[in-house]
A and B are shown apart, each in its own frame.
Chain A
Amino acid sequence: MLVIKGLTKYFAKNTPHEILAINNFNLRVKKGDFITIIGSNGAGKSTLLDLIAGTLQADQGEIRLDGEVITSQPEYRRARWIGRVFQNPLLGTAPYMSIEENLVLSLKRERKGLRIALNKKIREYLREELSELGIGLENDLTKKVGLLSGGQRQAMTILMATMFKPKVLLLDEHTAALDPESSKKILKITQELVEERKGDLITLMVTHNMKQALEVGNRTIMMDRGCNILDIEGEEREKVDIDYLLKQFSKLRQQEYIEDRLVLG
């Protein structure tokens, strides 16, 4: 269970450029939930994931994972339970290191020791995991990751984010930078890997694709100006279509327009 209470995050606090990126945000996520997150640019989606992962520290509020408060734990400590895939395929892997080195680094999330990292048994295991991805890298374990395509690197990152059996999987527009073909493939791999862990993984996926947002996962939330303004699941979600979501968006924009008029008025 992931519980977020009153989460608040400012950027450039106490300066004229202060931005309230996450505004008293609340969310309860059950084990097994696969939530898609939508919202316009600057709504705070990436910031929310950064706060959960610990890349950013919250100004107020609390994040609990299975009862444990993780709000102020450093990022590297939370990595024991949290797997991440970024929008930029270059961010999730180390280009000058080999495929097997990248994979083995993600396998063990606790304190790393003075054991030799790679041996025959581990290589065999990595090869098996890779071959299940179906992108044909299992015979190139020693190849440098920088030589792979964006799609291949993103597929590796997803494997690295799930292989160690995390409690939470955070996906930030992780198919956005790929061509349509690779994008489809990556989404399929994502769904398969999540499916394997059915019932015991929490997944949060940010997307700008409304169709994807409604088709993938079992719950959808819409963010605006750092708040959670729509949260649908089950039957209610099934009744909703893209038109409805688009209407919500245009309503927001109208409201913004009115507010701007009032301010400027």
Chain B
Amino acid sequence: MPITLLLHGLEQGLIFGIMVLGVFITYKILDFPDLTVDGSFPLGAAVAAKVIFTGGNPLWGTFLALIAGFLAGMITALLHTKLKLTNLLSGILTMTLLYSVNLRIMDKPNIPLLGKVTLLEQIQNYFPNISLNYLIPFFFLFLIIILKLVLDLFFSTEIGLAIIATGDNEQMIRSLGTNTDMTKLIGLCLSNALVALSGAFFAQYSGFADVNMGLGTIVAGLASVIIGISIIRIPTIFWRTIAVVVGSLIYRLILIIALRYGYKLGFEPGDLKLISVLLVIIALSIPLIKSRIDFLTSFSLGRKDLQNKNHPGEEV
């Protein structure tokens, strides 16, 4: 496989890795499958692209994208906690309303950024000697390590632990004095801020923002989270934030390979979403298949420790 292909996989895996960290917070920590991300990813792209396209500071644009994502998460949280809508419906409503918002922000379905100065180009100006091929992956690697460490730290604070507990045993943490409406709000805002940040970077990386670029973000996020967590199985936040980024890298690599060589198997670019969904289904069913196999073999081996199968350290 050509090295450039690998590098692209690495870059995209890291950029989307920011989004995957966000999906990890809602899906895995809060136990809240949040569909908002299909809208907040392009929202981040739209905000950043608009600012950059109109000659604004790309850093400012990227920051505004983060804030916009934060607010998008807040809408979903309020629909869920105040109006008592289900988590899925709250996400669907916000995702759909964001489509119109994104069109309003961009004024048109697509903003090209070719020839504009993006954050990545500004960074390159600081390191004129390093080739862009290496600078981009290094920058995003650096960024995602920082984000990961900040998240690790956050989830070891009192509020962070309360958010984890909200996903683990909501009734308990409420009876211990935590307003779970608030912990869900914080979790959703944080998550969508990361997703929008990811969108902002992806727009600058790929040179455009498009209203439809968010389609399937949730599936990509879930696939990455599930792949990562089933490969690196240590159930601490420190390892989980590493695992989901690794999952993102693997997922992107699979997609890039499928896109590049899939035609030999008769795949077309339009089949990509189908492949993503198949990946999710396969990854989700691995634990089940594995436990079936263990269950069957345990009879022949006469093993008695079947209950241990379900111990929490091993959940996916």
Chain A residues within CB distance 8 Å of chain B: 53, 55, 74-77, 79-80, 82, 84, 91-97, 101, 104-106, 108-110, 112-118, 144, 146-147, 160
Contact = CB atoms under 8 A, between A and B. Distances in A.
A146 B311 contact: yes
Given A114-B159, A115-B157, A146-B311, A105 B175 contact: no
B158 A76 contact: no
B2 interface: no
A79 B312 CA distance: 28
A50 to B, nearest CB: 10
Contacts of B180: 76
Name B's interface SS: helix
Interface in B40-80: none
Contacts of B311: 144, 146-147
B187 to A, nearest CB: 14
Contact of B172 (A92, A110, A115, A147): A92
B178 interface: yes
Contacts of A80: 177
B233 to A, nearest CB: 13
Looking at chain A's contact residues, is the secondary structure mostly helix, strand, loop, or mixed? loop
A117 B174 contact: no
A83 to B, nearest CB: 9
B156 interface: yes
A112 B168 contact: no
A114 B158 contact: yes
B298 interface: no
Interface of B: 153, 156-162, 164-165, 168-169, 171-180, 235, 311-313, 315
Given A94-B168, A105-B161, A75 B156 contact: no
A239 B158 CA distance: 50
A101 B165 CA distance: 9
A105 B173 contact: yes
A76 B178 contact: yes
Contacts of B161: 97, 101, 104-105, 112, 117
Contacts of B313: 144, 147
A93 B162 contact: no
A75 B174 contact: yes
B177 A117 contact: no
Contacts of A108: 158, 177
Given A95-B169, A109-B176, A144-B313, A114 B157 contact: yes
